[in-house]
Amino acid sequence: MSQNINPQEDLDLRSLDTMCVNESRLQHQWYHNLKYLVMGILFGFVFIKAEVISWFRIQEMFRLQSFHMYGIIGSAILVAMISIFLIKKFKIKTIYGEEIIFHKKEFNKGQIYGGLIFGFGWAITGACPGPLFAQIGTGATVIVVTLLSAIAGTWVYGYFREKLPH
């Protein structure tokens, strides 16, 4: 099943989809990405210290026994809302001068199904995709199974993406 896809048309189409579209067209050397590795490691330490990766904290959240995780998630949403407001108001650009574009997203029932699957997986494994590597780094090597499952699920979605309703 080979298709000739124009890269610009594909980018335009994906900008209307639920995928990340603020892709830079700049080409950088391999070491340019080291800053992201360093920030990821620091972010992992913050997750560990804030107990965001704690299986017990996640279980408390899903059993409605503690406000800890809801407070963290709520503060993250608040920071994101303020950040997006400021980016739009002051027309802030990336550090390379590229425009940051926010596209309107239409609601569809797939978001409900995806959210439920995500939530069930999070509740069962005690692992959200964000801190998987931090959990593995703390010695919870059983999380490798969750990581491989997340990769497999992403691959399956990518494989069937064109056939799914969006």
User: 41 Cβ partners below 8 Å, 6+ apart?
Assistant: none
pLDDT average, residue stretch 9-16: 59
Cβ–Cβ under 8 Å, residues 69 and 127: no
End-to-end CA distance of the chain: 21
- Measure the CA–CA gap between 24 and 14, rounded to whole angstroms: 14
**156 pLDDT band (50/70/90 cuts)?**
very high
Whether this prediction's pTM lies above 0.75 is answered by: no
Within 10 Å of residue 26's Cβ, how many Cβ atoms? 10
Lowest mean pLDDT among 11-15, 24-28, 114-118: 11-15
Identify the residue with better confidence: 130 or 149: 149
Name the residue with tokens 């892709």.
23
Name the residue with tokens 């593995």.
136
Nearest Cα residue to 53 out of 148, 129, 149: 129
Nearest Cα residue to 52 out of 129, 112, 151: 129
The SS3 of residue 55 is helix
Lowest mean pLDDT among 16-25, 32-41, 62-71: 16-25
